[in-house]
Protein backbone atom coordinates (compact mmCIF):
# COMPACT_ATOMS: atom_id res chain seq x y z
CA UNK A 1 0.00 0.00 0.00
CA UNK A 2 1.52 3.30 -1.03
CA UNK A 3 1.25 6.21 1.34
CA UNK A 4 -0.65 9.44 0.82
CA UNK A 5 0.11 12.94 2.01
CA UNK A 6 -2.01 14.28 4.86
CA UNK A 7 -1.97 18.05 5.21
CA UNK A 8 -3.27 19.50 8.46
CA UNK A 9 -4.87 22.96 8.39
CA UNK A 10 -4.72 24.40 11.89
CA UNK A 11 -7.56 26.63 13.12
CA UNK A 12 -5.51 29.73 13.86
CA UNK A 13 -1.93 30.80 14.48
CA UNK A 14 -1.41 27.82 16.76
CA UNK A 15 0.60 25.02 15.15
CA UNK A 16 -0.77 22.03 17.02
CA UNK A 17 -3.90 19.86 16.97
CA UNK A 18 -4.94 17.31 19.58
CA UNK A 19 -7.76 14.79 19.48
CA UNK A 20 -9.00 11.63 21.17
CA UNK A 21 -10.11 8.67 19.04
CA UNK A 22 -12.08 5.53 19.79
CA UNK A 23 -11.15 2.50 17.67
CA UNK A 24 -8.64 4.41 15.54
CA UNK A 25 -7.70 2.94 12.18
CA UNK A 26 -6.11 4.73 9.24
CA UNK A 27 -4.40 3.93 5.98
CA UNK A 28 -0.72 4.37 5.18
CA UNK A 29 0.13 8.05 5.06
CA UNK A 30 2.77 10.63 5.82
CA UNK A 31 2.85 14.32 6.66
CA UNK A 32 5.33 17.09 7.25
CA UNK A 33 4.05 17.43 10.83
CA UNK A 34 5.38 15.49 13.80
CA UNK A 35 2.97 13.22 15.65
CA UNK A 36 2.73 11.57 19.07
CA UNK A 37 0.35 8.61 19.45
CA UNK A 38 -0.56 7.91 23.09
CA UNK A 39 -2.72 4.95 24.15
CA UNK A 40 -5.21 5.71 26.93
CA UNK A 41 -7.07 2.39 26.88
CA UNK A 42 -6.40 -0.84 24.99
CA UNK A 43 -3.55 -0.99 22.52
CA UNK A 44 -2.55 -0.42 18.92
CA UNK A 45 -0.23 -1.67 16.20
CA UNK A 46 1.62 1.21 14.60
CA UNK A 47 3.37 0.65 11.27
CA UNK A 48 6.30 3.04 11.02
CA UNK A 49 8.71 3.01 8.06
CA UNK A 50 8.62 -0.74 7.52
CA UNK A 51 8.37 -1.86 11.15
CA UNK A 52 5.31 -2.70 13.25
CA UNK A 53 5.33 -1.60 16.90
CA UNK A 54 2.67 -2.61 19.42
CA UNK A 55 1.97 -0.06 22.14
CA UNK A 56 -0.23 -0.72 25.15
CA UNK A 57 -1.92 1.43 27.77
CA UNK A 58 0.04 4.55 28.75
CA UNK A 59 2.60 3.89 26.04
CA UNK A 60 3.40 6.34 23.26
CA UNK A 61 5.21 6.40 19.94
CA UNK A 62 6.79 9.40 18.19
CA UNK A 63 6.26 9.65 14.41
CA UNK A 64 8.80 12.09 13.05
CA UNK A 65 8.06 14.41 10.14
CA UNK A 66 8.22 12.60 6.79
CA UNK A 67 7.88 9.08 8.20
CA UNK A 68 5.33 6.73 6.64
CA UNK A 69 2.91 5.17 9.12
CA UNK A 70 -0.54 3.85 9.86
CA UNK A 71 -2.46 2.82 12.99
CA UNK A 72 -4.56 -0.28 13.67
CA UNK A 73 -5.92 -0.05 17.19
CA UNK A 74 -7.33 -2.90 19.24
CA UNK A 75 -11.12 -3.07 19.58
CA UNK A 76 -12.54 -0.28 21.78
CA UNK A 77 -9.13 1.32 22.28
CA UNK A 78 -8.92 5.03 23.15
CA UNK A 79 -5.98 6.98 21.77
CA UNK A 80 -4.79 10.58 22.13
CA UNK A 81 -3.14 12.16 19.10
CA UNK A 82 -0.77 15.14 19.16
CA UNK A 83 -0.13 16.53 15.67
CA UNK A 84 2.12 19.57 15.41
CA UNK A 85 3.93 21.59 12.80
CA UNK A 86 7.55 20.59 12.26
CA UNK A 87 8.68 24.18 12.88
CA UNK A 88 8.08 23.54 16.58
CA UNK A 89 11.27 22.14 18.05
CA UNK A 90 12.83 22.09 14.60
CA UNK A 91 16.26 22.77 16.10
CA UNK A 92 15.99 19.27 17.58
CA UNK A 93 13.88 17.24 15.13
CA UNK A 94 15.71 18.45 12.01
CA UNK A 95 19.02 17.20 13.40
CA UNK A 96 18.13 14.20 15.53
CA UNK A 97 15.86 11.15 15.45
CA UNK A 98 14.88 8.72 18.19
CA UNK A 99 16.72 5.40 18.10
CA UNK A 100 13.48 3.69 19.19
CA UNK A 101 10.26 5.59 18.37
CA UNK A 102 8.43 3.93 21.29
CA UNK A 103 9.00 6.19 24.27
CA UNK A 104 10.67 4.43 27.20
CA UNK A 105 10.30 7.30 29.65
CA UNK A 106 6.91 7.78 31.33
CA UNK A 107 6.08 11.32 30.25
CA UNK A 108 2.86 12.74 31.67
CA UNK A 109 1.30 13.03 28.23
CA UNK A 110 -2.25 13.24 29.58
CA UNK A 111 -1.23 16.41 31.46
CA UNK A 112 0.24 17.93 28.29
CA UNK A 113 -2.84 16.91 26.30
CA UNK A 114 -5.19 18.55 28.80
CA UNK A 115 -3.13 21.74 28.95
CA UNK A 116 -3.14 22.07 25.18
CA UNK A 117 -6.83 21.12 24.90
CA UNK A 118 -7.77 23.80 27.46
CA UNK A 119 -5.81 26.50 25.64
CA UNK A 120 -7.24 25.55 22.23
CA UNK A 121 -10.78 25.47 23.63
CA UNK A 122 -10.70 28.74 25.59
CA UNK A 123 -8.59 30.60 23.01
CA UNK A 124 -7.67 33.34 25.44
CA UNK A 125 -5.08 36.00 24.67
CA UNK A 126 -1.69 34.56 23.63
CA UNK A 127 -3.06 30.99 23.56
CA UNK A 128 -1.10 30.30 20.36
CA UNK A 129 2.19 31.19 22.05
CA UNK A 130 1.30 29.09 25.07
CA UNK A 131 0.32 25.97 23.09
CA UNK A 132 3.36 26.22 20.83
CA UNK A 133 5.59 26.63 23.88
CA UNK A 134 4.06 23.61 25.61
CA UNK A 135 4.73 21.28 22.70
CA UNK A 136 8.21 22.72 22.09
CA UNK A 137 9.11 21.98 25.71
CA UNK A 138 7.71 18.46 25.41
CA UNK A 139 9.79 17.75 22.28
CA UNK A 140 12.96 18.99 23.97
CA UNK A 141 12.19 16.87 27.04
CA UNK A 142 11.57 13.75 24.93
CA UNK A 143 14.80 14.07 22.95
CA UNK A 144 16.74 14.89 26.11
CA UNK A 145 15.56 11.82 28.01
CA UNK A 146 15.27 9.28 25.18
CA UNK A 147 18.17 7.80 23.18
CA UNK A 148 18.58 9.67 19.91
CA UNK A 149 20.96 9.76 16.94
CA UNK A 150 22.05 12.35 14.42
CA UNK A 151 20.05 12.29 11.19
CA UNK A 152 22.27 11.66 8.21
CA UNK A 153 21.75 14.36 5.60
CA UNK A 154 21.66 11.81 2.80
CA UNK A 155 18.89 9.84 4.54
CA UNK A 156 16.66 12.91 4.86
CA UNK A 157 17.34 13.82 1.23
CA UNK A 158 16.41 10.29 0.10
CA UNK A 159 13.04 10.38 1.88
CA UNK A 160 12.20 13.73 0.30
CA UNK A 161 13.10 12.44 -3.15
CA UNK A 162 11.05 9.26 -2.69
CA UNK A 163 7.99 11.36 -1.86
CA UNK A 164 8.58 13.50 -4.95
CA UNK A 165 9.10 10.45 -7.15
CA UNK A 166 5.49 9.32 -6.77
CA UNK A 167 4.19 12.60 -8.16
CA UNK A 168 6.85 12.48 -10.89
CA UNK A 169 5.59 9.02 -11.92
CA UNK A 170 2.06 10.43 -12.29
CA UNK A 171 3.38 12.91 -14.85
CA UNK A 172 5.92 10.70 -16.65
CA UNK A 173 4.37 7.22 -16.46
CA UNK A 174 4.36 6.58 -20.22
CA UNK A 175 8.13 6.64 -20.69
CA UNK A 176 9.69 6.46 -17.22
CA UNK A 177 12.10 3.55 -16.70
CA UNK A 178 13.36 1.85 -13.55
CA UNK A 179 16.86 3.27 -14.13
CA UNK A 180 15.52 6.81 -14.49
CA UNK A 181 13.49 6.44 -11.29
CA UNK A 182 16.55 5.25 -9.35
CA UNK A 183 18.53 8.17 -10.75
CA UNK A 184 15.77 10.62 -9.78
CA UNK A 185 16.04 9.49 -6.15
CA UNK A 186 19.84 9.43 -6.34
CA UNK A 187 20.32 5.78 -5.41
CA UNK A 188 21.93 2.75 -6.97
CA UNK A 189 19.44 0.51 -8.74
CA UNK A 190 19.75 -2.45 -6.29
CA UNK A 191 19.33 -0.21 -3.23
CA UNK A 192 16.48 1.76 -4.83
CA UNK A 193 14.64 -1.50 -5.59
CA UNK A 194 15.02 -2.75 -2.03
CA UNK A 195 14.10 0.58 -0.42
CA UNK A 196 11.01 1.17 -2.61
CA UNK A 197 9.63 -2.28 -1.77
CA UNK A 198 10.49 -1.87 1.92
CA UNK A 199 8.71 1.48 2.30
CA UNK A 200 5.77 1.05 -0.08
CA UNK A 201 5.09 -2.69 0.07
CA UNK A 202 5.29 -3.26 -3.70
CA UNK A 203 7.98 -3.07 -6.35
CA UNK A 204 8.54 -0.02 -8.51
CA UNK A 205 7.39 -2.02 -11.55
CA UNK A 206 4.15 -3.04 -9.81
CA UNK A 207 3.38 0.54 -8.87
CA UNK A 208 4.19 1.88 -12.34
CA UNK A 209 1.77 -0.64 -13.85
CA UNK A 210 -0.99 0.49 -11.48
CA UNK A 211 -0.50 4.09 -12.59
CA UNK A 212 -0.45 3.13 -16.28
CA UNK A 213 -3.60 1.00 -16.02
CA UNK A 214 -5.35 3.80 -14.17
CA UNK A 215 -4.56 6.12 -17.09
CA UNK A 216 -5.75 3.46 -19.54
CA UNK A 217 -9.10 3.25 -17.72
CA UNK A 218 -9.46 7.01 -18.01
CA UNK A 219 -8.86 6.84 -21.77
CA UNK A 220 -11.26 3.93 -22.29
CA UNK A 221 -14.08 5.53 -20.32
CA UNK A 222 -13.64 8.94 -21.95
CA UNK A 223 -13.51 7.60 -25.53
CA UNK A 224 -14.97 4.15 -26.15
CA UNK A 225 -13.96 4.31 -29.83
CA UNK A 226 -10.23 4.61 -29.14
CA UNK A 227 -8.39 1.50 -30.42
CA UNK A 228 -6.92 -0.67 -27.67
CA UNK A 229 -3.52 -0.55 -29.38
CA UNK A 230 -3.51 3.26 -29.12
CA UNK A 231 -4.57 3.15 -25.46
CA UNK A 232 -1.74 0.72 -24.71
CA UNK A 233 0.80 2.86 -26.56
CA UNK A 234 -0.23 6.10 -24.84
CA UNK A 235 0.07 4.40 -21.47
CA UNK A 236 3.62 3.21 -22.06
CA UNK A 237 3.07 -0.34 -23.33
CA UNK A 238 4.85 -1.34 -26.54
CA UNK A 239 3.31 -4.84 -26.40
CA UNK A 240 -0.48 -5.23 -26.57
CA UNK A 241 -0.11 -8.69 -25.03
CA UNK A 242 1.66 -7.25 -21.99
CA UNK A 243 -0.93 -4.48 -21.72
CA UNK A 244 -3.84 -6.94 -21.79
CA UNK A 245 -2.19 -9.14 -19.17
CA UNK A 246 -1.53 -6.26 -16.77
CA UNK A 247 -5.00 -4.79 -17.31
CA UNK A 248 -6.63 -8.11 -16.40
CA UNK A 249 -4.34 -8.61 -13.41
CA UNK A 250 -5.09 -5.18 -11.89
CA UNK A 251 -8.77 -4.72 -12.77
CA UNK A 252 -10.04 -8.30 -13.14
CA UNK A 253 -11.35 -7.45 -16.62
CA UNK A 254 -10.00 -7.37 -20.15
CA UNK A 255 -9.90 -3.87 -21.74
CA UNK A 256 -12.85 -4.72 -24.01
CA UNK A 257 -14.98 -6.12 -21.18
CA UNK A 258 -14.47 -3.30 -18.69
CA UNK A 259 -17.85 -2.23 -17.21
CA UNK A 260 -18.89 1.32 -18.05
CA UNK A 261 -19.16 2.23 -14.37
CA UNK A 262 -15.87 0.58 -13.32
CA UNK A 263 -13.80 2.51 -10.81
CA UNK A 264 -10.26 1.56 -9.81
CA UNK A 265 -9.74 2.20 -6.10
CA UNK A 266 -6.27 3.72 -6.30
CA UNK A 267 -6.18 4.69 -2.60
CA UNK A 268 -4.74 1.27 -1.86
CA UNK A 269 -1.99 1.84 -4.41
CA UNK A 270 -0.86 5.40 -4.85
CA UNK A 271 -0.27 8.86 -3.47
CA UNK A 272 -2.19 12.01 -4.22
CA UNK A 273 -0.94 15.56 -4.60
CA UNK A 274 -4.00 16.88 -2.73
CA UNK A 275 -4.42 16.44 1.01
CA UNK A 276 -6.75 13.79 2.37
CA UNK A 277 -8.00 12.32 5.63
CA UNK A 278 -6.33 8.93 6.27
CA UNK A 279 -8.73 7.99 9.09
CA UNK A 280 -11.11 5.12 8.26
CA UNK A 281 -14.85 5.29 8.89
CA UNK A 282 -14.85 2.80 11.77
CA UNK A 283 -12.83 5.32 13.81
CA UNK A 284 -14.64 7.85 16.00
CA UNK A 285 -13.27 11.23 17.07
CA UNK A 286 -14.39 11.72 20.66
CA UNK A 287 -13.17 15.30 21.09
- Residues 140, 161: one domain? no
Task: Give the structural domain span for 64.
Answer: 4-151+274-285
CB within 8 A of 59, min separation 6: which ones? 38, 39, 102, 103
- Residues 280, 143: one domain? yes
The 10 Å Cβ neighbour count of residue 191 is 12
- Residues 159, 76: one domain? no
Q: What is the mean pLDDT of the chain?
A: 87
- Residues 44, 101: one domain? yes
CATH at residue 63: 2.60.120.280
**Cα–Cα distance, 118 to 112 (Å, whole number):** 10
CATH at residue 227: 1.10.10.60
CB within 8 A of 50, min separation 6: which ones? 198, 199
Give the tens place of pLDDT for each residue, 19-28: 999 999 988 7
**Cα–Cα distance, 137 to 217 (Å, whole number):** 51
The whole-number average pLDDT for the span 266-278 is 55
Q: Which ranges of the chain would DSSP assign to H, the alpha helix?
A: 90-93, 109-122, 127-145, 153-172, 178-185, 189-200, 204-222, 228-234, 240-251
Residue 279: per-residue pLDDT = 84
- Residues 120, 77: one domain? yes
Is there a contact between 165 and 184 (Cβ–Cβ < 8 Å)? yes
256 by DSSP, 3-state: which?
A: helix
Is there a contact between 259 and 1 (Cβ–Cβ < 8 Å)? no
- Residues 61, 143: one domain? yes
Is there a contact between 91 and 151 (Cβ–Cβ < 8 Å)? no
Per-residue DSSP letter, 33: S
Find which of 107-111, 166-170, 223-227 is predicted with most confidence, using mean pLDDT.
107-111
**pTM for this one?**
0.67
- Residues 251, 120: one domain? no
- CA angle in degrees (0–180, nearest 5) for 166-169-170: 95
Give the tens place of pLDDT for each residue, 37-47: 999 999 999 99
- Residues 139, 26: one domain? yes
- Residues 104, 192: one domain? no
- Residues 12, 106: one domain? yes
- CA angle in degrees (0–180, nearest 5) for 164-45-41: 130
**Cα–Cα distance, 252 to 258 (Å, whole number):** 9
Closest CA to 169 of 277, 272, 78: 272
- Residues 125, 246: one domain? no
Give the tens place of pLDDT for each residue, 116-166: 999 999 999 999 999 999 999 999 999 999 999 998 766 666 666 777 788
- Residues 16, 44: one domain? yes
Q: How many domains does the chain have?
A: 2
Amino acid sequence: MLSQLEHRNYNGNEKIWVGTYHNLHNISHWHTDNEIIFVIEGGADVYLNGEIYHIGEEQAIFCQSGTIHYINSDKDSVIDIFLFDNSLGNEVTSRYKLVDPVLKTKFDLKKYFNLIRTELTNREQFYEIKTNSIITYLIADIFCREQCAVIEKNAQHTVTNLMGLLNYIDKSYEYLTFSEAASYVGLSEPYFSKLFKHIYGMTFSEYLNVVRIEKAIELLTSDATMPITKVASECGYSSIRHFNRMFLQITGYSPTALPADYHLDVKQFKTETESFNPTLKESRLLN
